[in-house]
Structure 1
Amino acid sequence: MIYFDNSATTVIEPQVLKTYTDVATKIMGNPSSLHNLGTVAERMLQASRKQIADLLSKEPAEIYFTSGGTEGDNWVIKGVAFEKKIYGNHVIVSAVEHPAVKESAEWLKMQGFAVDFAPVDKNGFVKVDALAALIRKDTIFVSIMAVNNEIGAIQPIREIAELLANQPTISFHVDAVQAIGKIPLTEFLPERVDFATFSAHKFHGPRGVGFIYIKTGKKIQPLLSGGGQENNRRSTTENVAGIAATAKALRLALTDFDRKTAKLLAMKQVLLAALATYSDVVIFSQTENFAPNIITFGMKGVRGEVLVHGFEAHDIYISTTSACSSKAGLASSTLVAMNVPPQIATSAVRISLDESNHMAEIEQFLTIFKQLHEKFQKIK
């Protein structure tokens, strides 16, 4: 099997799975319990929190655990909007955000908030000048993803941070789910960022676990109410085993970063060079200012899902852009925002690599692609 769908989810690392199993079987207490078993669980919880904070060069009190990226995005967008509603009701998100952000923004509109979607250029990058033009006196929140999940475009987070440097009343959120372990922390966590969202299963951690960064002093309303866990901000009994495994996964993801990203980029360059030789292939992901692991392209006249299943028949797994909307058979929302014609947008497929992949798999993929291309040419 060749697995090229790592932006959808990654395989849990054996060391991470061992951490999960060890904690789940040996630390049985509820962290909120007063007895010694609860104390042991609480210590593990706080040790994991500190490890994650240290890896991100943040403070432990700035890390809050969630069930993943979708909950994190929903919590930040809704929680900050309602917390700051007395100061204004205008929110800006980019036109190429993950559905967890875009749908949350649409929900805010139904609650009476004004929402603007910052446009992108033909390559999928947020137009900072256009974003600046959208800012109003009542703007309270801006949310921009670090790495686009559909084409891998690295958004100009630092430039936007500079834009907002003199706008202290505007909260700045970054969806960093696709960024961790793929681009340097400094590119998506500059000091101006107030909130950031992460999901463990994107970096070889367990599914159903994530965390958000909330800068000290920033306020947010809870999304979940109940027992007062996570400093009264996110009530529910913490998944201690999953959180400990997430801390381990993050440490491994950030270890040997330069070597891993160089390997990803080398494989991506081989793929791009080969795909560029086909006149009917349209490539949407390049190398400069794009994540090293994502290649999105389309074959004219062939719908993306057809190509996905064609590869699947050869035990090669890719996807039609976002995993969260691929089963709906819709065109990539990012490509639509880039004004790509619908007949081209619906042909898009995404390869998302991992450091565990290797060149032999790239060569096999290209061999099968050539066969599929010839087959589709005959049909067309």
Structure 2
Amino acid sequence: MVTRVALAGAGRFGALHLRAFRSLPVEVVAVCDPDPARLAAVRAESGIAAGYPSLGELLAHERVDLVDIATDEASHGDLVLEAVEAGRHVFVEKPLAMDVDQAMSIQARAAGNGVHVVTGQISRFGAAYQHIRDTLDAGELGAPVNLRFRRDFSRSWFPAFGTRVHPVWESGIHDIDLAVWYAGAPCRTVYAVQRGVSGLPNPDTFAAILTFANGVVATVESAWLVPDAAPQTLRGALELDGTIEATVEVLGERGTAAYRLAHDGLAVRTDRMTAHPEHTLWPTVAGRISGALLAELGYAVDVARGARGNDVMPVEEAVEGVRIAAAIQRSAETGTPVTLRAPEERP
């Protein structure tokens, strides 16, 4: 069965999704974007028959099974709700939303309308991250005790994000989600600090300590301060001249596990640059996009066509990630700890 897909957002990541969809049993029947030039370009490049300036107009005219949302972070919540209210399944790039109440409304409305919402927390679909989860589930590490996460990005990339969104929603949300996934319990307290050095509206770096209801403690750190001379790590389908450094450590009662996203196991050196290409996110293999991006989009397609349940990235865990991210931002801005209440405990 071919799943009919609509794409919301014709930017760089939307175009990347379209390339991945070529390897899946889908037909991308329409795309929407408010920028006419960008809309025309992606339609011409990918041969998409229909284009619209808004998702509302698209949904009013097209029969689709799955809406893929690859727009800026602040627009996610509204677009997800629009698609859910129209009775469509949704794949949305992270974060699910940037407002806790809106995220909870998405969860409720999706359940009420009998549709699934899959959030693109890409790390859950990376083989190494999944292996750590499997190792935890098998009991090889014992009960988790401490989780450590660090994710750093090139300083030169920050102007594109520092005026748009707090880094907790761009870089931190990946590791917040992994903490939720590995801890296996709701988060109860958050304390965070931040610092800005670039002069942009949002901080260049933050660090947070999370405590979970089962006693697990997680540290999440992120900085956009990697210098230009660092090795290039993104090559292939989406090539960016810069660096992502990401590490995770899981410390259990009987063992530990660790993973580093990019490392010198693969090295490319020329007179112009040194690269350590990572092969977890969206590597190109035999001319096609593979890796975690293809896996998560394939998963969303399977969920939309009823081939499997939404067990890898359930919407309630995406909502938990939004709750934690919002608490980190609030704690860092106020300098005070934040206590998270369960939804049923909220006034």
TM-score (norm 2): 0.34
Flag the structure with higher strand content. 2
Of structures 1 and 2, the one scoring higher in RCO (CA 8 A, sep 6+) is 1
TM-score (norm 1): 0.32
Flag the structure with higher helix content. 1
Larger radius of gyration: 1
